[in-house]
Amino acid sequence: MKNTPITIAVLLLMGCASHPTLTIDRNAGMYMHCRVEHDVVYRTVEDKELHLNVYIPEEYIGESPWWVNDQAGKKPTLLYIHGGGWTGGSKDKRVFNFLPYVFRNWVVISINYRLAQDAKAPAGVEDCLAALEWIHTNAGKYDIDPDRIVLSGGSAGGHLSLLTGMLREGDQLCGGKLKVGKTSKVAAIVNWFGVTDFNHYPLPVQWFGSNVDTDEYIRTLSPINYVRQGGVPVFSIHGTEDPAVSVEQTVSLHKKLREYGIHQKVHLIEGKKHGEFNPEEFTQIYREIWKFLESAEIKTTVP
């Protein structure tokens, strides 16, 4: 067939019809916009090294030096604290929990801390405070905005996030086993169904240990007892049928936060259990998280 101008035009139109315009999926190219530093030592305790991973928004250029600064300036940063009942879990097993932050070009720092088999309470709390201090110390190296550091975690990680963000200099935990020194700035806490009051929760004996002043541990390890004027904004997510951590834990905490005039919001998921949320519910949760953080004057960046 002779390729007249009309024939060529028809063929081009046919090609367009068979190859519709693509809708770009930014997930497909995320590997080019975020590098990871694994197993960075953030503290050493009695010869035991504690590690964290840093997820850094940068640009992959396909040749040496391979990665370059994205020139986007200081970034909001998430300190992610994994759950696992204070006895299990790790920084490497929870990567998918914070991908929405990575997608929005946040710096994300996921930490390990001493679990019950390594050290009893309040060791894990001390580690989380040290990790927060490490973030502030290294803010310049990783383009971290020290005014936009958010803490988050689920279950035991939610509990530790609350404590880490709510403790102040001079607080003493577990009969003075942890004396809080100068604390580092936190912009907000995103709490996923964390324990807030050990008075209404089965005692984590393995984490508390034996031969301790149980009443003292319950009092000083319960985040609800650190609600006070000028506190950090808190956003909480909880399923109403959670069998592991009662929804009343979150409801009671936020009632007290409101009483003290602290910026806060609760997002309850009707009929759902311990983190048992579907994609539609997760989508709505993150929409609410971004809205809350923006309302707390934390610019979250747009993907």
d(CA 252, CA 263): 15
For residue 240, list its beta bridge partners.
none
Instruction: Identify the structural domains of the chain with CATH numbers, from first to last.
Output: 32-295 (3.40.50.1820)
Per-residue pLDDT tens over the stretch 246-283: 999 999 999 999 999 999 999 999 999 999 999 999 99
User: What is the reported pTM?
Assistant: 0.92
Burial category of 122 from C-beta neighbours within 10 Å (exposed 0-12, middle 13-18, buried 19 and up): buried
For residue 107, list its beta bridge partners.
77
Backbone angles phi, psi at 88, to 5 degrees: -145, -175
The Cβ of residue 229 has, within 10 Å, a number of other Cβ atoms equal to: 7
Helices (H) and strands (E) in the chain, counts: 8, 12
d(CA 161, CA 156): 9
For residue 108, list its beta bridge partners.
55, 78
Task: Dig out the tokens for 196 from the structure.
Answer: 């807030």
Task: Dig out the tokens for 263 from the structure.
Answer: 């910026």
Q: Which of 128, 131, 160 is nearest to 144 (CA)?
A: 131
Task: Dig out the tokens for 18 from the structure.
Answer: 């068979």
pLDDT band at 203 (very low <50, low <70, confident <90, very high): very high
Calculate the CA 56 to chain-centre distance. Answer: 15
Lowest-pLDDT range of 29-38, 168-177, 178-187, 266-275: 29-38
pLDDT band at 29 (very low <50, low <70, confident <90, very high): confident
